[in-house]
Structure 1
Amino acid sequence: MKASFKFFVILAGIFISRPVSSQENELVLKDMFKDAFYIGTAISYRQASGEEQQALPLLEKHFNSITSENMMKWGPIHPEPDRYNFVSADHFVQLGKKLNAFIIGHTLVWHQQTPKWVYQNTQGEMLSKAGLLERLENHIGTLVGRYKGQVHGWDVVNEVFEDDGTYRESEWYQITGKDFIFHAFQKAHAMDPEAELYYNDYNLWKPEKREAAIALAKELREKGLRVDGIGMQGHYMLDSPPVEMIEASIIAISNAGFKVMVTEMDVDVLPRPRASEGADLNKNYALDEKFNPYKEGLPEDVAEKFAKRYAEIFSVFYKHRDKIERVTLWGLHDGASWLNNWPVRGRTNYPLLLDRNYKEKMEVFKAISIQVYN
C-alpha cells in the first residue's frame, strides 16, 4: 500500500466529526449524507422479489431511495400490445414502502428496451404520428396511474440526445419529432400531479449535451409542463471525466432552475474499446481477454485509485449539496452491475461500493468520509 494512501486510511479510522450509526466507527451511506441528499441504488428483479436475501439488510442499512433498474422499462412491463406484466414492478414498489424510501420509476420513454410493436401497426408498417402518440399516452397513463401516490419521481424521458447535443434519430423522433417528449411529460403529470418528473441522460458532463438537455427542460416549462429536474447519469471511469467538468454541469443545471440528480453512479475500472464513453447500449463488443484483466480481483494500485476517484467525486457532490437532490448508485453490488456486460460482455468488473460478497468496501467508504467531512 502506498504511504500516502496508508495515511489517508489511518486518518479515516480516527476521524470522529462525521455522523455515525449506532455502532461505533460504522460508516453508513445514508447517515453520512443525511443532511445533504438522498442516497439511492438501482434494484434488480431478484432484489425486488426478495429472492436475493442478502440484499435486504444492506438496502435497509445504506439507502433511502431506490430506482427500478429494468422492471418499469417498456419491454419488461408491457411486452405485448394488450399485456402488461406488473409483478416485478409491484414487488419493487412494495420494497420501497418497506424501506420508507424515495421511490423512482425508470423509465417511461426510451429508445432502448422498447418492443418493435410499439412503433408498428398490425401489418408491421410504421405507425402514424397520431397513432404512436396515442400508444405512448396509453402506456404512461397505465403505469403512472397504477402507481399514483406511491412512486415519488419518474424518469419520464431517457437519452434523447447524441453527445454533440443533436437529437437522437430514434423511432420516437423519426415519427413524432420532439412531440413525444412533450406528450410524455404532459400525460405523466396529468396522471399523478404530485410526482416529480425528470429528464435523464448520460455524458451530461459534456457541455454540448448538457446545454441541449437544459434547453429542452426550459422548453418544456415554457409550454407549461412540469419538469422538476435533470438526471445526470454518473457512468464514470477511473480517469475521466475530470471532476471539474462534472461540477460545471451541476452548477449549470442548477443555475438554469432545475434540481440535479446523479442518477446512475458507478466507476468503471476496466479498459474499454475506443468510442465507448457513456452508456450507449448499441456499442457492445465480444469478450476479449485484454479487456478483462482483473478476473481474480483488483490490484492494490487500482483499488487505491478507485477509492480516491469515488472520494473526489463525492466531495464535489457534497460541496454542491444545496443543488443535488439525490445520488443513486447503479446497482447494489459488483455482481449485479451492468458493467460486467457492457461494453464488453462477460467481464468481471468492480464499479460499486459493495463487493460480490455483499461486503462494504470500507477503504472506499473511509476515503469518501474523509473527503466529505474533513
Structure 2
Amino acid sequence: MKPSRRDFLCAGAGLSAALLPLGLQPAAAADATLGGVAARAGVTFGTSIAADTLRIPAQAALYHREARIYTVDWALTFSHLRPRADQFHPGDAEAILAFATPAGIPVHGHALAWNESRPDWLMKLSNAGKRKALDRHIDETVAHFAGRLPSWNVVNEPFWPGHGLPGDFRDGPWLQAFGPGYVTRAFQRAQAADPRARLVLNEAMTEVWTEDGAKMRRGLLTLVDRLQDDGVRLDAVGLQGHLDPGRPFDDAGFADFLHQLGERRVDIWITELDVDDRAFPDDIASRDAAVAARYRDFLDAVLAVPAVKTVITWQLADSASWYNHAARRADPDAKRLPRPLPFDDAFAPKPAVDAIIAAMKKRIG
C-alpha cells in the first residue's frame, strides 16, 4: 500500500526527532562529512531527495548527516503536483520539508517551468490555456511554499538543439505558449510570488564537449545577458553535471565557461552531479576508482572558479540513483547495476567520497 501524505509527514518528523539527539544536524556536523568539509571551502554541499528516501531510516540518516541543502527530486514538478487540471498534490514535498526543517537544512525547489513535465491534460489546452496554466502554477506553487523554500529552479533545461528550433530552445508547452519569453515571465512571476526566494536558471549538458554542448553554452550565456538586460533578477545559474565519461569533455574548457558566467555576477551551482559509469570496467573496485577520479578531476576544475558556491549530487546513495532505477526497470535481474554516487546501496562510503573531499580541501588551500 502506498503511504499517505500523513504517513510521510509523521515519518519525516519522527526521523528528525530521532536524529537530532545524535548530533547529526548540520550545525554539529563533523569536518569529516561532505557537508562539513565543503562548508570550510565556502561551498554548500547537498543532495537531491525524494519523499521515499524517508522510508529507510539508514538512508535518511545518511542524507541528514552529509548534506547542507536538499533539492526536491521530482515532487515539485508540474506533472507530479498537477496530474489533473483540478488537482494540486504537495504532500511529498511537504514530507521532505517536515524532515528537513527541524534540522535547519534548506530545501531547494525543482522546478517551476520545465517543458518536459507536461501532463496530457496540459497539452490538450490552447496556447491561451497554457499561458493561464503556467501563470497559475507559478503563482500558486511559489505562494504555497513562500517562506519555506528559500530558492527555486525557476526554469529548467531551456535548451535542446536536437529540436531544431530557433535559438536552440527546447520545445514544449511553455515555448509553444509564450515563445522564448516564457523564461522572463516565469522569473518575474516567481519573484512576485515570493520576493525573498533566490531564483535559479538550471541547464543540462553544458559540460559535454560536442557541437550540441557548445550550442547550449552559447545559448545560456545569451539568455543570461538577455534576462539581465531586461532587469530580471537572476541569482544563480545551475549546471547539472550528469557526467558521462563516454562523451567528450574538457574540464579546463568548462572552467573557462564558468568564468564567463561568473563575470556576469551570478552565483554558479552544480545542481545534479553524478557519474555515469557505463563506460567503466565491470570490476567494482576498478569502476569505483574510475568514478572517483572523474569526480575529482571535474571538481578540481570547477571549484577553482570562485563563483561556484553550491554542489549538489543527484541523490547520494547508489540505490536511489535514477541510473539505478532505469537499469532495474530495463532488466529486473541485471547483474551489473550502476554505481554513480558517493555512497553504495548499503550507504557505505565509496572512493568518490574521498575524491570529493580532496577537491574541496584543495579549494580551502
TM category (shorter chain) comes to: 0.7 to 0.9
Give, in whole Å, the separation in 1 of the partners of 2:79 and 2:29.
43
Local SS of the residue matching 1:143: helix
- Equivalent residue, structure 2, for 1:158: 156
Larger helix fraction of residues: 2
Residue 181 of structure 1 and its aligned partner are, at CA, apart by: 1.6
Local SS of the residue matching 2:57: coil
Give, in whole Å, the separation in 1 of the partners of 2:49 and 2:320.
9
Give, in whole Å, the separation in 1 of the partners of 2:358 and 2:88.
47
- Equivalent residue, structure 1, for 2:341: 352
- Equivalent residue, structure 2, for 1:369: 357
- Equivalent residue, structure 2, for 1:316: 301
Q: Contact (CA 8 Å) 1:40, 1:63: kept in 2 or not?
A: yes
Structural mapping, 1:57-76, within 5 Å: 57-76=61-80
Residue 372 of structure 1 and its aligned partner are, at CA, apart by: 4.1
Local SS of the residue matching 1:207: helix
Give, in whole Å, the separation in 2 of the partners of 1:333 and 1:349.
11
| RMSD (CA atoms) | 2.3
- Equivalent residue, structure 1, for 2:108: 104
Give, in whole Å, the separation in 2 of the partners of 1:70 and 1:323.
27
Residue 45 of structure 1 and its aligned partner are, at CA, apart by: 2.2
Q: Contact (CA 8 Å) 2:116, 2:172: kept in 1 or not?
A: no
- Equivalent residue, structure 2, for 1:31: 36
- Equivalent residue, structure 1, for 2:259: 251
- Equivalent residue, structure 1, for 2:5: none
1:105-129 deviation line (CA, Å, top 9, x unaligned): 00011122320212324xxxxx13x
For residues 176 and 369 of structure 1, do their structure 2 counterparts lie closer, same or farther at Cα, with a shift above 3 Å needed? closer
Q: 2:320 aligns with which of 336, 342, 358?
A: 336
- Equivalent residue, structure 1, for 2:120: 116
**Identical columns (%):** 24
Give, in whole Å, the separation in 2 of the partners of 1:256 and 1:211.
14
Give, in whole Å, the separation in 1 of the partners of 2:303 and 2:223.
27
1:292-346 deviation line (CA, Å, top 9, x unaligned): x84xxx43332222221111122223322x2112110001210111112558934
Local SS of the residue matching 1:79: coil
Q: What amino acid sits opposite 1:39 in the alignment?
A: F
Give, in whole Å, the separation in 1 of the partners of 2:321 and 2:253.
25
For residues 323 and 186 of structure 1, do their structure 2 counterparts lie closer, same or farther at Cα, with a shift above 3 Å needed? same
- Equivalent residue, structure 2, for 1:15: none
Q: Contact (CA 8 Å) 1:254, 1:323: kept in 2 or not?
A: yes
1:150-198 deviation line (CA, Å, top 9, x unaligned): 1111001111212486112223222321132222111100000010111
Q: Contact (CA 8 Å) 2:341, 2:352: kept in 1 or not?
A: no
- Equivalent residue, structure 2, for 1:223: 230
Q: TM-score normalised to the size of structure 2?
A: 0.81
Q: Contact (CA 8 Å) 2:241, 2:274: kept in 1 or not?
A: yes
Equivalences, count: 319
Give, in whole Å, the separation in 2 of the partners of 1:370 and 1:178.
41
- Equivalent residue, structure 2, for 1:262: 270
Residue 207 of structure 1 and its aligned partner are, at CA, apart by: 3.1
For residues 52 and 113 of structure 1, do their structure 2 counterparts lie closer, same or farther at Cα, with a shift above 3 Å needed? farther
Q: TM-score normalised to the size of structure 1?
A: 0.79
Q: Contact (CA 8 Å) 2:78, 2:117: kept in 1 or not?
A: yes
Give, in whole Å, the separation in 2 of the partners of 1:351 and 1:142.
36
Residue 34 of structure 1 and its aligned partner are, at CA, apart by: 0.7
Q: Contact (CA 8 Å) 2:47, 2:67: kept in 1 or not?
A: yes
Q: 1:300 aligns with which of 285, 296, 302?
A: 285
- Equivalent residue, structure 2, for 1:14: none
- Equivalent residue, structure 2, for 1:146: 144
Unaligned runs of 5+ in 2: 1-27, 208-212
For residues 180 and 369 of structure 1, do their structure 2 counterparts lie closer, same or farther at Cα, with a shift above 3 Å needed? closer
Q: Contact (CA 8 Å) 1:75, 1:113: kept in 2 or not?
A: yes
For residues 134 and 264 of structure 1, do their structure 2 counterparts lie closer, same or farther at Cα, with a shift above 3 Å needed? same
Unaligned runs of 5+ in 1: 1-20, 122-126, 273-292
For residues 345 and 231 of structure 1, do their structure 2 counterparts lie closer, same or farther at Cα, with a shift above 3 Å needed? farther
Give, in whole Å, the separation in 1 of the partners of 2:303 and 2:320.
26
1:132-160 deviation line (CA, Å, top 9, x unaligned): 22211111111100110111110011112
For residues 160 and 22 of structure 1, do their structure 2 counterparts lie closer, same or farther at Cα, with a shift above 3 Å needed? closer
Local SS of the residue matching 1:197: strand
Give, in whole Å, the separation in 2 of the partners of 1:204 and 1:238.
14
Q: 1:186 aligns with which of 167, 170, 188?
A: 188
Q: Contact (CA 8 Å) 2:271, 2:313: kept in 1 or not?
A: yes
Larger displacement relative to structure 2 (342-351 or 215-224): 342-351
**Higher normalized contact order (CA 8 Å, seq sep 6+, divided by chain length):** 1
